[in-house]
Structure 1
Amino acid sequence: MIRRIADRLHRFGTARGGNVAILVALGSTFLLAAGAVGVDLGLVFQARRKAQGAADIAAMMAAIDPSQADTMARRSLGDNGYGSAAATVDVGTYDASVPGVAPGSRFHPGSSPANAVRVGLSTSVPMTFGRTLGLSGSVPLRVAGTAASARFAAFSIGSGTVQFGNGIANALLGSLLGTQLSLSVADYNALLGARVDGLRVLDALATSLNLQAASYSDIVQGNASVGQMLMALRVAGQGNSAAVNALTGILNALPNAGGTIPIGQVAPLGDAAALAPSRGFGGPSIDLMNIVGAIATLANGQNQASADLGATIPGLLSTRLTVAVGERRRSSGWVRPGGSNATVQTAQTRLLIEATASAPLGLGTLSLPIYVEIAPAQATLQALSCAGGARQVTIRAQTGLATLAVAGVPRSAVTGGSASPNLSQPAVLIALPLLNVSGRAVTTIGSTTQTLVFNEADITNHTVKTVSSGDLTQSVIGSLLGNLSLSVNGIGVSPLLQTSLSATLSALAPALDLVLDTTLRSLGLRLGYADVDVDGVLCSQAVLVQ
């Protein structure tokens, strides 16, 4: 019996029949197990994509109005079949404008002003076949989506339309740019009537600076020469031949490329920088003349600019301008109400007009120095509505405090610094060997604040709305000269001289008003006014950022 059993075991061990069947049976078991796991993994991946889509949609719905984020996000999750799933809704800020920050660290929950929402979703996927192999009965999933509001408005504060009918603009802008300009009235009107897309200007600059692969946020951090800025404007303005010709005239007058200026102060991204917009993103429509003025003043820095107009102003024997412009900020770029860039200011400007005319009573030449100092006017985006396709923008604008004086102010005192010149000393108006006529007058125009509402038609037509100071008179210079306190050799003046001088000064007021108004408008400013224009409104609701 033992021998028989041993023989059978030997024959079984040496037999080759049925090996394939055994191998197929064992292999099929492993293949079926792998297939089962593969099916379950496919279900997990499919469920993850579905959950991610639901979280992304919920985040975008919530980012439309961050104040209602929790309600809107959970309603969206419920509509997509995740009403009973565990979810978190965090409101905060998203900022991609800081270089070197990893994408996962750009969202800051709890920060304000809120412009983004992150929705986290936790769910699980049941295993169909995996549990038969001893695996877990379900696989937990955790996904998150982050969206940011993309509702923006862009606006500018500066000058309204003005007709340049004399050489003041050429003399002043030429002095700021370090050259001599000879643009015609038609050239200036072309610049005043043209608008360019602010981001197309950045696209053109990227090509000029060999930054084709750079983001808009990177471009605005750099500097460009005056020549490069003007060439970028020319590229962005293609299609308007008159404006392109005017820019070509300025470029041809430059002796060289000019100094460098910060790009972000000419074409700012505003709050849109936080979203790191991709190239090709639509930009605000900016007034071309305002950009040219900004380039000129930025190129000059806080240095003095002098322009000798000679006898070109009717009624005056000679006129000389000395101007100092503080740091300027004009166009907002895309911004949102309550954002860090929602307030835009014009520049603090100091101006000395030194004019001469024929003195009355045969007393020779009358010298008249008029000093003007304008504090920045400002505008703040308060509200933005895109309801029903009808856009509406609310801006609160404030005029700048202005001081005008006839006083002994030396040219060297006209600076862009913080210290104002001394206005207590009278100016010598007529200087003769035995007779000096002196005069002094100071007047102040107070600031005024007003809320401006731009409706759909105003935005489409780029309607300029104005806030004006209640202290303005028909002739600011006339009012100033009417209050002039005169003295001869330190004592009072005779009635005849008083009457004659008053008549002469009154006749000079219109010419001096022209010089003052045109000079300031060449810089994008108006005395006692704040002119506001909405450059565009972006109603893209919200965009997915992570």
Structure 2
Amino acid sequence: MIDRLRRSAASWLRAVAERGRAFGTARGGNVIILVAFGSTLLMGVAAVGVDLGVVVQARRKAQGAVDIAAMLGASDIARAAEASRRSLSDNGYGTAATAATVTPGSYDATAAVGARFQPGGAAINAVQVGLSTSAPVNFGRVIGLPSSVPIRVTGTAATAQFAAFSVGSGLVALDGSGLPNAILGALLGTKLTLSLLDYNALLSARVDGFKVLDALGASLNMGGASYAEIAQSNASVGQVLMALRTASGGGAASALTGILNALPNAGNVVPISQIDPLGDVGALAPGRGVAGPSLSVMGLVSAAAALANGQSQVSIDLGATIPGLLSTKLTLAIGERRRSSGWVRPGTPNATVRTAQTRLLIEASLTAPLNLGSLNLPLYVALAPAQGTLKSLTCSSAVPGGRQVVIDGQTGIATLAIAGVSRQAINGGDVGPDLSQPALMIAAPLNLVTVSGRALATIGSTSQSLTFSDADITAHTVKSISSGAIAQSLTGSLLGSLNLQVNGLGVSGLLAPALNLTLGAAAPSLDLVLNGVLKVLGLRVGYADYTVDGTLCGQAVLVQ
């Protein structure tokens, strides 16, 4: 009985196993099950996708709102919080606008991406707006997601209100004495034969500073580079002059061609940033094609020539080309040069621009009275840098004309002397020559008669604020400040104070008056040389000249 039950049970188990194996190999029902499970999964993914699209759209809308709010805040940083929150409220974020963060600060595109915007700072030029909101989730709640997704967005905008100005750009005319060719040619290491018409064309021409950078970028094979990258590069003088020719045209282009043809080679390499600086706008990484300041072509040529020469001494022998003088030799040294600001904002380090420290020795020779041969007259001139600082810029329509620029100007100390100065002492360093020793002016044969003299005059520094109206800015009006009452003939005043020492038997009483007449007659010739040299360099003794090269009132730009 027991055995029969065992056999029956074994038979039943084998039958169940066989039917189980048969069920496992069947496929028709499995397809239906897989379709059911797959459809459910696809419907869930589709539901989540719809919610994700809602979240993405909400984030885009919020980002656009904070970008607009940041630009409005940067346009009026003094009222940034009010303007930004009002903008957020107008764009549908009334409740969130109250809790939004509006942070004024400083922006520098040259820093690392995460550190470009810094809250606060001495020179606030940007605003960052932060907004917290949320997007509703509909289908996702079925699978356990929260009913809303939090969204946090920020937008940063920087002010784009800048002014550009130049110090020492008061060139209005050059004469036909040949001094411009001699000075520029010596600085460039060549001989120039430009006409007065050529120089007048250079003086009257202005060029967009960024178009010059565009041309330099092409010349340096930096077509895809930013203005900041181009400005930080170096170029030869020849490349700078070719870029100026490309950007200017007309008579100035013809004059620039004459200079290029005279160069024996490409010339020395110069830093572009010291000729055509970006200023503060470089921190915003401006895109190619943006308008640049309107710069004087002659000023750029002069700056390039001075930089090409560096702080090397320049010696020029004018021979007998100056009327009234037997011979004239010039020794010139120019210190570090910077004249144009680029686009700058008030309160930044770039907002102060200085002219170059310049030292000049004019060694003139003229006929001595009483048939005593020649009279040697060394005239030394030193000009400390003048400077200008952008004090304020107004682009508001509340000001008549729409624009106003205020520049705080300061003239540099000027020293004029007749003394025993050696050519070797003329340099662009911090220490000038010794002016305590008198100059030997006449040494007759056998030293029977000797005349020495010394004179020293110092013109002090003065400061003044200059206001440029919209009309002044448009016309590139030159405004000047003066160090008090400047004599019409500086050399004449200096010669009038000359302390003469005459040694010689029987001629002292006759020679002194004759010397005064001779020196007085030579003053206009010395003025011609002195003023001619300084005009080429864009400088004047006792004056500082200022020109606003333009304003950039583009309100604000989004930055990263």
State how 1:280-295 maps to structure 2 within 5 Å: 280-295=289-304
CA spacing shift, 1:271–1:492, aligned 2, 3 Å: farther
Correspondence for 1:106? 116
SS in 1 for 2:95: coil
Distance in 2 between the 1:493 and 1:534 partners? 57
Instruction: Say whether 1:413 aligns with 2:425.
Output: yes
Distance in 2 between the 1:493 and 1:227 partners? 57
Instruction: Say whether 1:352 aligns with 2:361.
Output: yes
Is the CA contact 1:487–1:493 (under 8 Å) kept in the aligned structure 2?
no
Correspondence for 2:53? 42
Instruction: Say whether 1:449 aligns with 2:463.
Output: yes
Distance in 1 between the 2:234 and 2:129 partners? 39
Percent identity over paired residues = 65
Residue 138 of structure 1: CA displacement?
1.1
Counterpart amino acid of residue 542 in structure 1: A
Is the CA contact 1:153–1:535 (under 8 Å) kept in the aligned structure 2?
yes
Instruction: Say whether 1:32 aligns with 2:39.
Output: no
Note the alpha carbon deviations across 1:478-508, whole angstroms, 9 max, x for none.
1000000001139998343222111111111
Is the CA contact 1:306–1:321 (under 8 Å) kept in the aligned structure 2?
yes
Correspondence for 1:52? 63
Residue 474 of structure 1: CA displacement?
1.1
Distance in 2 between the 1:33 and 1:508 partners? 101
Distance in 1 between the 2:295 and 2:56 partners? 48
Correspondence for 1:188? 199
Distance in 1 between the 2:512 and 2:300 partners? 46
Residue 164 of structure 1: CA displacement?
2.5
CA spacing shift, 1:492–1:62, aligned 2, 3 Å: farther
CA spacing shift, 1:342–1:493, aligned 2, 3 Å: farther
Correspondence for 1:93? 106
SS in 2 for 1:258: coil
Residue 271 of structure 1: CA displacement?
0.3
SS in 2 for 1:387: coil
SS in 2 for 1:37: helix
State how 1:284-323 maps to structure 2 within 5 Å: 284-323=293-332
SS in 2 for 1:59: helix
Distance in 1 between the 2:501 and 2:144 partners? 108
Is the CA contact 2:174–2:535 (under 8 Å) kept in the aligned structure 1?
no
Distance in 2 between the 1:398 and 1:493 partners? 47
Correspondence for 2:141 among 128, 131, 143: 131
Distance in 2 between the 1:326 and 1:493 partners? 44
Counterpart amino acid of residue 158 in structure 2: A
Distance in 1 between the 2:396 and 2:429 partners? 45
Kindly name which structure, 1 or 2, has the bigger radius of gyration based on alpha carbons.
2
Counterpart amino acid of residue 356 in structure 1: S
Correspondence for 1:147 among 147, 151, 157: 157
Note the alpha carbon deviations across 1:106-126, whole angstroms, 9 max, x for none.
112222201111111111112
Correspondence for 2:403? 391
Residue 324 of structure 1: CA displacement?
0.2
Number of aligned residue pairs: give it: 534
Q: Which stretch of the first structure deviates more once superposed, 432-441 or 13-22?
A: 13-22
Distance in 1 between the 2:27 and 2:189 partners? 101
Residue 104 of structure 1: CA displacement?
2.9
Residue 447 of structure 1: CA displacement?
1.1
Correspondence for 2:3? none
Correspondence for 2:415 among 403, 408, 417: 403
Calculate the TM-score normalised by the size of structure 1.
0.94
CA spacing shift, 1:288–1:492, aligned 2, 3 Å: farther
Is the CA contact 2:322–2:328 (under 8 Å) kept in the aligned structure 1?
yes
Distance in 1 between the 2:413 and 2:42 partners? 84
SS in 2 for 1:96: coil
Distance in 1 between the 2:49 and 2:125 partners? 41
Instruction: Say whether 1:200 aligns with 2:211.
Output: yes
Counterpart amino acid of residue 469 in structure 2: N
Counterpart amino acid of residue 229 in structure 2: D
State how 1:430-509 maps to structure 2 within 5 Å: 430-432=442-444, 433=446, 434-489=448-503, 494-509=508-523
Residue 516 of structure 1: CA displacement?
0.5
Alignment gaps of 5+ in structure 2: 1-11
Correspondence for 1:272? 281
Distance in 2 between the 1:303 and 1:177 partners? 12
SS in 2 for 1:489: strand
CA spacing shift, 1:28–1:493, aligned 2, 3 Å: farther
Instruction: Say whether 1:263 aligns with 2:272.
Output: yes
Is the CA contact 1:446–1:471 (under 8 Å) kept in the aligned structure 2?
no
Note the alpha carbon deviations across 1:124-160, whole angstroms, 9 max, x for none.
1121121122111111111111111111111101133
Distance in 2 between the 1:112 and 1:491 partners? 71
Correspondence for 1:423? 435
Distance in 1 between the 2:506 and 2:267 partners? 52
Residue 68 of structure 1: CA displacement?
2.2
Distance in 2 between the 1:519 and 1:223 partners? 27
Correspondence for 2:525? 511
Calculate the TM-score normalised by the size of structure 2.
0.91
Is the CA contact 2:171–2:203 (under 8 Å) kept in the aligned structure 1?
no
Distance in 2 between the 1:492 and 1:339 partners? 66
Residue 28 of structure 1: CA displacement?
4.0
Is the CA contact 1:160–1:464 (under 8 Å) kept in the aligned structure 2?
no
Distance in 2 between the 1:215 and 1:346 partners? 28
Distance in 2 between the 1:288 and 1:122 partners? 52
CA spacing shift, 1:147–1:361, aligned 2, 3 Å: same
Is the CA contact 2:241–2:256 (under 8 Å) kept in the aligned structure 1?
yes
Counterpart amino acid of residue 101 in structure 2: T
Alignment gaps of 5+ in structure 1: none
Q: Which stretch of the first structure deviates more once superposed, 502-511 or 78-87?
A: 78-87
Is the CA contact 2:502–2:512 (under 8 Å) kept in the aligned structure 1?
no
